[in-house]
């Protein structure tokens, strides 16, 4: 009976991995296809990678997405860390309402959130006479609004597991609140803060809906450029771009694993 169960579990595991990674593997293979038709193999070639390097529109969109991701992730991390500390350490009036409001972007459809942000931006422009067009700033603001909720949850969960007596002991020894935060609390919650920043950056880099609502003619993110391209047929350059992204992500994950897991094994050995 246990043999049948183990074979069933193994089959489900193989099916799950195949479901996740076979499409990615197919995309990588066809990025080296000679033919312009992405479903017809006609020979090995790397010409689409060279064509990608000459595609100024995609490269500009990628740079725009990186800038927006860094800005929005940084803003979301600062605000989310402050909100997480307030929820974990302070007994604020209306705390439950504040928690529910922070969780709203997590469950609200992005179409509704994008429309609400668009109406807010237009209203501010009308009321203040702000002549600036929608662009990188408005997209970064929209992404920070969404990502702040995720950062708050990550940082708050990290703070809940810490002993508040450590910070109280530092204050008893004469440390100011700012000193306690930067020299005691922040080092202890640094993994959560970094994880929140990376999550916010990933959400920004991946977003299409909010960027479509809050962007203007002068700002096109990479997901918007890819979506506009594949609507008229999948170009082999898109396969090449996706392969580059997969390779970069794999290298970053492997590097992070080599840094984290040896340290964890060393701590476990001691």
Over its length of 270 residues, how does the chain's per-residue pLDDT go in tens digits?
A: 555 667 888 888 888 989 988 888 888 888 888 887 777 778 888 888 888 888 888 888 888 988 999 999 999 999 998 888 888 766 767 677 777 777 788 888 888 888 888 888 888 877 777 656 778 888 999 999 899 999 988 888 888 777 667 776 777 667 777 777 777 778 888 888 888 888 898 889 888 889 988 887 778 888 888 888 777 777 788 888 888 888 887 887 777 666 655 544 455 445
Is 247 inside a domain boundary? Answer: no
For residue 3, the model assigns a pLDDT of 59
Whether 224 and 154 map to the same domain: the answer is yes
Whether 120 and 232 map to the same domain: the answer is yes
Whether 149 and 230 map to the same domain: the answer is yes
Whether 6 and 100 map to the same domain: the answer is no
Whether 219 and 95 map to the same domain: the answer is yes
Whether 134 and 18 map to the same domain: the answer is no
Q: What domain range includes position 68?
A: 59-238
Residue in 234, 256, 208 with CA at minimum distance from that of residue 110: 208
Is 246 inside a domain boundary? Answer: no
Q: What is the domain-level CATH number for residue 191?
A: 1.10.3720.10
pTM of this prediction exceeds 0.85:
no
Is 75 inside a domain boundary? Answer: yes
Is 44 inside a domain boundary? Answer: no
For residue 73, the model assigns a pLDDT of 92
Is 121 inside a domain boundary? Answer: yes
Whether 94 and 187 map to the same domain: the answer is yes
For residue 260, the model assigns a pLDDT of 54
Whether 103 and 146 map to the same domain: the answer is yes
For residue 131, the model assigns a pLDDT of 57
Whether 63 and 110 map to the same domain: the answer is yes
Distance between CA 201 and CA 88 in Å, rounded?
Answer: 24
For residue 264, the model assigns a pLDDT of 46
Residue 32 β-bridge partners? none
Whether 126 and 18 map to the same domain: the answer is no
Q: How many domains does the structure of the chain reveal?
A: 2
Angle among Cα 193, 102, 139 to the nearest 5 degrees reads: 75
* Alpha-carbon Rg for the chain in angstroms: 23
Is 51 inside a domain boundary? Answer: no
Q: Read out DSSP for 215-237?
A: --TT---HHHHHHHHHTT---HH
């Amino acid at each position: 009976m246990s043999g049948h169960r183990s074979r069933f579990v193994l089959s489900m595991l193989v099916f799950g991995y195949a479901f996740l990674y076979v499409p990615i593997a197919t995309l990588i293979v066809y990025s080296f296809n000679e033919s312009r038709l992405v479903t017809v193999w006609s020979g090995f070639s790397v010409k689409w990678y060279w064509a990608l390097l000459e595609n100024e529109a995609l490269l500009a969109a990628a740079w725009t997405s990186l800038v927006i991701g860094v800005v929005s992730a940084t803003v979301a991390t600062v605000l989310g860390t402050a909100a997480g500390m307030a929820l974990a350490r302070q007994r604020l009036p209306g705390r439950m309402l504040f928690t529910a409001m922070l969780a709203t972007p997590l469950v609200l459809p992005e179409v509704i959130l994008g429309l609400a942000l668009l109406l807010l931006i237009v209203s501010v422009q009308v009321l203040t006479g702000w002549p600036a067009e929608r662009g990188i700033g408005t997209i970064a603001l929209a992404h920070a609004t969404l990502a702040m909720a995720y950062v708050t949850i990550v940082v708050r969960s990290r703070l809940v597991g810490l002993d508040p007596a450590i910070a109280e002991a530092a204050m008893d020894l004469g440390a100011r609140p700012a000193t306690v935060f930067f020299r005691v609390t922040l080092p202890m919650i640094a993994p959560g803060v970094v994880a929140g920043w990376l999550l916010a950056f990933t959400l920004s880099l991946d977003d299409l809906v909010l960027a479509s609502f809050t962007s203007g003619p002068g700002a096109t993110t990479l997901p918007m450029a890819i979506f506009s391209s594949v609507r008229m047929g999948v170009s082999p350059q898109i396969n090449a771009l996706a392969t580059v992204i997969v390779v970069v992500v794999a290298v970053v994950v492997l590097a992070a694993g080599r840094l984290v897991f040896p340290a964890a094994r060393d701590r476990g050995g001691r």
